Amino acid sequence: MVNNQSSPLPLLVATGLSKSFGGVKAVNEAKIEVAKGSITGLIGPNGAGKTTLFNLLSNFIRPDKGRVIFDGEPIHNLQPYQIAQQGVIRTFQVARTLSRLSVLENMLLAAQKQTGENFWQVQLQPHLVAKEEKQLQERAMFLLESVGLAKKAHDYAGCLSGGQRKLLEMGRALMTNPKLILLDEPAAGVNPKLIDDICDRIITWNRQDGMTFLIIEHNMDVIMSLCDRVWVLAEGQNLADGTPAEIQSNPKVLEAYLGK
């Protein structure tokens, strides 16, 4: 549900973002702000540039121009892995899991800067490595419990349903201790019963843990029930932004996005 906190400070500010492919402007002078502790939505018709904008924010694709400021620091010149280390983690429309590894192993691989990755630490301080591995396993199981997958911890990830894979991907994101999670269509291709579960968990992480989310989603019920603020793209440009109620009644949005 909508968070009623007044004027929280922006955690992410992107301005003037542009990207062309073969002369076609996929994103054109776009801007977006995400308030700390908020759930912010990004909507628009197919081909509006939403996923491209996500890719620009996380630098999976370099912008032709524009700036991205995260937590007061510019990140648009950083590599994707460096942006992830700063605390910006994204998921994908099609969940990316390692099918031949267990659900638990998928979670453990998401943890950053593990002591066991250092050869000399393994050789000289094996007790520290073992201690950290135990702590990581405990955290992974705790997070699997929070996404409802604890009973499937030792199953192959490839055996999960599409919705369960999305939950696993969210769990992997949480495993990195993020400050901001970019969710690309978390409800797409998901059983309707599981959509409610996903939404409930997002609300819990936001309200109880203060997690900040930026969400692309075509399911308008999801966007309108979850988000504090919604940004609308059309043909790569900003069309509108406001509260869910303002967006629902905006004539430009109704014409461009809802076809009314």
The tens digit of pLDDT for each residue in 142-160 reads 889 888 899 999 999 888 8
pTM score, whole prediction = 0.83
**Closest to 33 measured CA to CA, from 85, 70, 83:** 70
- Tens-digit pLDDT profile for residues 45-66: 888 999 999 999 999 999 999 9
206/2 Cα distance (integer angstroms): 11
* Token pair listed for 4: 């009623």
Q: Enumerate the β-bridge partners of residue 69.
A: 13, 74
Describe the strand order of the beta sheet including 10-21 as a list of residue ranges. Answer: 24-35, 10-21, 65-70, 73-74
**In Å, how far from its chain's centre is CA 80?**
14
State how far the Cα of 206 lies from the Cα of 72, in Å rounded to an integer.
21
Residues 154 and 103: beta-carbon distance below 8 Å: yes
Question: What's the pLDDT at 64?
Answer: 95
> Quick check: 131 pLDDT over 80?
no
Domains of the chain are: 10-97+176-256 (3.40.50.300), 101-159 (no CATH)
The residues, ordered by sequence, that sit 6+ positions from 257 with a Cβ below 8 Å of its Cβ are 43, 44, 45, 232, 234, 239
159-193 pLDDT, tens per residue? 888 888 888 988 888 888 899 999 998 888 788 88
CA gap 184, 199 in Å, rounded: 14
